[in-house]
Structure 1
Amino acid sequence: MQDKYVGDIGDFGKYALLNFLAKRDVVLGVVWYLTSAECDSRDGGFTQYLSSPDKANGLGKCDEELFDGLREIVQSRDRQVARVREGRILPGRTQFYEGRLEFDGVPPRKRPEVRKTWFERALKQVEGASLVFLDPDNGLSLNEKMKNRKAGPKHVYLDEVRQFLGRGQSLVVYCHQDRRKGGLEEQIRQGLELFRKESPIHKAWAFSFHRQSVRIYFVVPVCQSTAELLAQRSTAFNEGCFGAGGHFRLRR
């Protein structure tokens, strides 16, 4: 996650889904894998949808309160994740961790300790949440060799996922669409297979978001009661404006 993404069309989809899953009765935790903005990237510039709720096939009409909140942030020209917390974009009891994870200027031998300290603080900050959202730039990586390289902060790794699941916290994990053979369908299939192996009840499903660029959200519950609640809400979300409008697709 980077501050410059706040309020863009992907951010809208992200918070719309999290709000619907958590509502007021599920304590949400948000771990932004926050890195510094990349100057050579145009990502985060897709805010044209905020000019009218009718833009992007009526995306803003699906959650007008969220639309207004993000438009206010973008128009203020103060796009940073702290504004999401302060602006109550997500439910009031949401627990946030917004410490930066970056290796610029950090010697390779010191990076494991930097990441370990960062992650321990993240665990502590959201320990009271029952549903935790992990928001790296790129998504889940299984290549442990990359974990402490320069691009390592752009990914979440399996050992980190396991620590949340191991203490009874369900997860929503962000992944962007990559370029693997088989495309989006294969990426989702492989992701679901992996997360179903990691979950104690072997249930996981996903949403794909289809505005501007494709984004994937894997929902990984850890107990039967949570699975039933999140499954009911996922079905309702998919049957409502976001699914009917083609913005999201539920993948089971």
Structure 2
Amino acid sequence: MQDRYAGDIGDYVKLALLRTLSSGRALGVAWYLYPDEGHNGDGRHTRYLQQPEKWRALDPELFDALARVVDAGRSVKAIEASGLMSATYHGAPLTSGSLPWQRRSGWRAAWFESLQSAMQSADIVFADPDNGLVDDDPRRRGKSKFGKQIPVAEALALAHGRSAVIYHHNTRRAGGHDAEVDHWLQQLGPHTLAVRATSHSCRTFFVLNPDAEIQERASRFCNQWSKHGVRLHC
């Protein structure tokens, strides 16, 4: 996540999904906050807010709140302050890329330990890495852009003994998006489902360890949003 994305169409989908899945649960939100980048036009997808006839009925309260976030200055803090979700938030930024490469792995381990500590009381956790899932190759941990990713080991650790929702931005992986989602489902284990969202760009939300209620809620959410590019991956 980057502050400049706050309130875009991706936020509308993911926060609506979280509000559906976490109702009545102790929600933890791990922003995986990465410093804003200005080299591209990502995060400009806010035109949906000018199309209330198409989008607002899906979650009117959220739609109106995100319109205020966009108007007032986009940031994860603004989303937290909106009061849309009763959650424990972890927003310590992932700034290890500014360190010498030899120190980055240890810095990330300490950062993740603080995240785990913050999420202790949560029984469902959402992780929002800028790019999404990667494998556990230790060489990645010295890369300057590793802060934009979540390795499988961290995803599984966040889901230990509870449900977790992991954001993944689909890539140009060989075989296409269906094969990519299948790959990560295999890595995350059999008790995982995938919610696909394809409006404006292709995203997948991997739901680890869903109980029967969360499975039913995910299915209901996909049905409600089906005309807006959202579906369960089968």
TM interval, short-chain normalised? over 0.9
Instruction: Find the counterpart in structure 1 of residue 45 from structure 2.
Output: 46
Instruction: Find the counterpart in structure 2 of residue 199 from structure 1.
Output: none
Give the total of aligned pairs.
233
Q: Does the 8 Å CA contact 1:26/1:131 hold for their aligned counterparts?
A: yes
Gap regions ≥5 residues in structure 1: 197-201
Gap regions ≥5 residues in structure 2: none
Q: Does the 8 Å CA contact 1:31/1:97 hold for their aligned counterparts?
A: yes
Letter matched to residue 104 of structure 2: R
Instruction: Find the counterpart in structure 2 of residue 65 from structure 1.
Output: 61
Instruction: Find the counterpart in structure 1 of residue 206 from structure 2.
Output: 218
In the alignment, the residues of structure 2 paired with residue 12 and residue 144 of structure 1 have an alpha-carbon distance, to the nearest angstrom, of 34
Q: Does the 8 Å CA contact 1:32/1:98 hold for their aligned counterparts?
A: yes
Q: Does the 8 Å CA contact 1:147/1:157 hold for their aligned counterparts?
A: no
1:8 is aligned to 2:4: no
> Given the superposition, is the C-alpha separation of residues 236 and 110 from structure 1 closer, same or farther in structure 2, using an over 3 Å criterion?
same
RMSD: 1.3
Q: What SS does structure 2 have at the residue aligned with 1:133?
A: strand
Cα offset for 1:247? 2.8
1:148 is aligned to 2:132: no
Cα offset for 1:189? 1.0
Q: Does the 8 Å CA contact 2:8/2:45 hold for their aligned counterparts?
A: yes
Q: What SS does structure 1 have at the residue aligned with 2:182?
A: helix
Instruction: Find the counterpart in structure 2 of residue 177 from structure 1.
Output: 170
Letter matched to residue 185 of structure 2: L
Cα offset for 1:68? 0.1
In the alignment, the residues of structure 2 paired with residue 66 and residue 107 of structure 1 have an alpha-carbon distance, to the nearest angstrom, of 41
Q: Give TM-score scaled by structure 2 length.
A: 0.95
Instruction: Find the counterpart in structure 1 of residue 151 from structure 2.
Output: 157
Q: Does the 8 Å CA contact 1:174/1:217 hold for their aligned counterparts?
A: yes
Q: Does the 8 Å CA contact 1:206/1:218 hold for their aligned counterparts?
A: yes
Matches within 5 A, 1:113-132: 113-132=106-125
Letter matched to residue 138 of structure 1: N
Q: Give TM-score scaled by structure 1 length.
A: 0.88
Q: Does the 8 Å CA contact 2:197/2:229 hold for their aligned counterparts?
A: yes
Q: Does the 8 Å CA contact 2:125/2:159 hold for their aligned counterparts?
A: no
Q: Does the 8 Å CA contact 1:144/1:157 hold for their aligned counterparts?
A: no
